[in-house]
Structure 1
């Protein structure tokens, strides 16, 4: 076997392989001989069909079968001998495939990039410092009260936060439009569930009142025939309901896992949950800054095969998020909607893998268990969660990957200049939300350019 490898780009290789004709022809002859033993053909007894007839009838198919097997086997040998690390499957094409001639085929493949990590030294990373105050806990408990509130009909005019029971019908000009009407719909003013400007115009409305509301659909509205259009809604208010907040008593706190109804235990539990949430927000904010710096310092080529794998994964996530069903064919979703996000994820993954490898990072079973126990704290039966994770190799592998990623970020953080910034609980959560929205906008912008 003769092998030559050409470098066609940083991450693409073109392998040309030649296999002696005798090896292929002998394998084809042996395969035809075996096949002849079981061939039934009119005019001949089983196993007595002449080889010339067998070759004429089955020769092409058998040769294609043998050549396919030979190419796959020699391709694997070629990448092993040349220490190539393929990313995805190759494109293999036979360029010479004739009896009596050496078989020649070409395999074009992408390989994982060779990475020489550049330092992120000099990068300034802001690390929020936050403490959960008593007022933060009071505010959270008030939020929990609102989430568990009942609605009680009131005789007054509607205010922000009230729930209205309404009928409505939408018009473009004088014509009603499809999907623009409903009866007995419950709408909470200020929820943001309707078109911008709709809910605000219902403040002050009373039961039995009819109102005419004018709004303009956003330019990016999902229904293209309505995007940017001015519309009029005729609304009938049937009922105005205000929130009836529950008392913070033993009955209330038992809903949140405090079985004995102890108010101090409940408050302590809320504080722990908020502290954990704030800590996660801080870690994510720091991690995002570090990973952004890592990407900027290391522009690496990314194999298209890996981008496509990640794109397919994002498609499945999107289908699940929007409730499209398990039978939905995700190939219907355009690749370009996810390609840039997928490329960025793959880049980060490759770079982090190199950080882990170059620093010989690892995670012990004790570290994995400790991480699982930390994750299990937010569940009502932590011991069952720990038992499930530790008994499932796939789940343990996922936890180990998360630990290694944390260790890699910590290693990178040693190269950066860390500046502590005091923030309130609300500020750090708001900053995390803004970062998430900014990332979404950036991905959308990149996708639109693509």
Structure 2
């Protein structure tokens, strides 16, 4: 087999591959054997029809097509490896020449990983905000805790912001009640938002026994975004009474004996959360500092696919939260054009960062051992709410292990970046990144449940094949 590569752009290549017919012989033999099992020819048993007879009965062209379709994917992968190309998508393959009993020539155009000249990435400098826990932050958390222990009592007055109401809702369009758009006896807090646009305004000032109709847009279902008429009836107005923040409440709502101890614990927890946020911001700032030092060419098709996926994910999340895109943009004070531009910028940065981290992992000769893969499997299973063993089995069955290995390698590369970086807060203090895990994620050190890790270990044995380490190069070969 001979292959040549033509660079169409920094992110796209064209392979031209010539395959001699002797290299097609296994595929041709397999094609004749399979066709012989499928046809009936008088005088021959099924499966015993000679190639010469198959050529007369079925046609040599059909045999060649089947053999070429079988051989081309393997030859394509061989050509990629021969030319050290890393594909990013499915190729566009075309058979350009076929000389029976001589050779087959085909071309394959494919998006590839760009060649990147890594800049110096040790000692990157970045700045993040100070960690500040205000009295307002503490008060907000304490109030939320008090609300969990609050009680509701009926009141004989119009509903006001913050009150709870029990309501019946019915949405109609053109006089007909919409399927799934009718509820009864639902408890709702006035001013909470996130349900139907205009509902809070309609409920404010309504008393028990009153009803009102207003126009709104549906945020889910087949008629999402459609203008409908909503009839709301209030059956109860309830006022929430919060317990006093005293020692008795502290003992009821927590493990502390005094309100002072409870408040101090809330402040400490908020501080830990803020420090985690600062660590995540530091990690992102370091990566951004690296991105500013190099221009990474990006395949348009990869960016377009990622844009589509992220846009759909955002729309699904908004729909689940009962928020329309128009409302979201209004809250964010963005136009549709500004939203699209910001989303594309984020996608481009994310794809460029992946390429850079892959190159750093390769240069640093980073690897992934079995324990790290097992822990990553367990963590991903926990994040998706799945059983670790079932999650691991799914990953193996669908050949997603190379993707997980690549995730870990990128995390390690990011951790390498951050460990050598100099990050300061707005006040000039050096930020200690103690919450950065070895895989580049942010979080408190967490002991892995032994049973879960053991189960994942058993499955990870298959992925690592008892080898001590999976390298960057190994992951790339698996992906190809």
TM-score range, shorter chain: 0.5 to 0.7
* Structure 2 equivalent of residue 436 of structure 1: none
Whether 1:420 aligns to 2:436 is no
1:244-255 alignment, distance < 5 Å: 244-246=241-243, 248-253=249-254
Q: Deviations over 1:167-191 (max 9, x none)?
A: 466799xx75755875544331110
Residue by residue over 1:18-68, the C-alpha shift from the partner in whole angstroms, topping out at 9 and shown as x without a partner, is: 2234554x5577557756986874531437756532222343333223223
**2:155 aligned with 1:154, yes or no?**
yes
- 1:275 and 2:271 correspond: yes
SS of equivalent residue, structure 1 residue 276: helix
* Structure 1 position 135, deviation (Å): 6.4
- CA 1:262–1:310 in 2, change beyond 3 Å: closer, same or farther? farther
Q: Is the 8 A contact 1:126 1:420 kept in 2?
A: no
Q: Match of 2:281?
A: 285
TM-score by length of 1: 0.64
2:125 and 2:421 in contact (8 A); partners too: no
Partner of 2:418: 410
Instruction: Give structure 1 stretches of 5+ with no counterpart.
Output: 325-335, 380-384, 423-450
- Equivalent residue runs for 1:50-449 within 5 Å: 51-58=51-58, 59-118=60-119, 125-132=126-133, 136-167=137-168, 183-194=184-195, 198-200=199-201, 202-209=203-210, 223-226=224-227, 235-246=232-243, 248-253=249-254, 258=255, 270-303=266-299, 306-307=302-303, 310=306, 314=310, 321=317, 342-358=347-363, 400=408, 404=412, 406-408=414-416, 410=418, 413-414=421-422, 419-420=426-427
- Asked whether the 8 Å contact 1:171–1:177 carries over to 2, the reply is yes
Query: Structure 2 CA distance, aligned partners of 1:237 and 1:48?
Result: 81
CA distance in 2, matches of 1:3, 1:318: 43
- Structure 1: how far apart are the matches of 2:368 and 2:100? 55
Find the residue that maps to 1:350 and give its secondary structure: helix
CA displacement, residues 78-116 of structure 1 (integer Å, 9 cap, x when unaligned): 222222222233222211123144211112122111112
Q: Are the aligned partners of 1:122 and 1:417 in contact in 2 as well (CA < 8 Å)? A: no
| Worse overlay, 130-139 or 13-22 | 130-139
Preserved contact between residue 36 and residue 54 of structure 2 (Cα < 8 Å): no
Q: 1:277 to 1:216 in 2, by over 3 A?
A: same
Task: Give the number of aligned pairs.
Answer: 383
CA shift, 1:300, in A, is 2.0
Deviation at residue 238 of structure 1 after TM alignment: 2.5
SS in 1 for 2:116: coil
Deviation at 1:4, TM superposition (A): 1.9
**Residue 15 (structure 1) aligns with:** 15
Report the Cα offset of residue 261 of structure 1. 7.4
Q: Aligned residue for 1:431?
A: none
* 8 Å contact kept, 2:158–2:205: yes
Q: Deviations over 1:424-445 (max 9, x none)?
A: xxxxxxxxxxxxxxxxxxxxxx
Q: Which moved more, 1:197-206 or 1:74-83?
A: 197-206
- Please state how far the C-alpha of 1:158 moved relative to its aligned partner: 2.7
**Is 1:43 aligned to 2:48, yes or no?**
no
The CA RMSD over aligned residues, in Å, is 5.2
The residue matched to 1:351 in structure 2 has which SS? helix
Shift of 1:318: 6.0
Deviation (angstroms), 1:9: 0.9
SS of match in other structure, 1:354: helix
Q: Which structure exhibits the higher relative contact order, with contacts defined as CA atoms closer than 8 Å and separated by 6 or more residues?
A: 1
Aligned partner of 2:329 in structure 1 is none
- 5+ residue gaps, structure 2: 322-339, 430-480
Distance 2:140 2:129 in 1: 21
Distance 1:76 1:242 in 2: 69
- 1: distance between equivalents of 2:67 and 2:184? 69
Alpha-carbon offset, residue 348 of structure 1: 2.3
Distance 1:283 1:37, change over 3 A: closer
- Distance in 1 between residues matched to 2:278 and 2:320, nearest whole Å: 31
Asked whether the 8 Å contact 2:130–2:426 carries over to 1, the reply is no
Does the C-alpha gap of structure 1 residues 313 and 292 become closer, same or farther in structure 2, counting only changes over 3 Å? Answer: same
Distance 1:11 1:122, change over 3 A: same
Paired position in structure 2 for 1:441: none
- Normalised by the size of structure 2, how large is the TM-score? 0.61
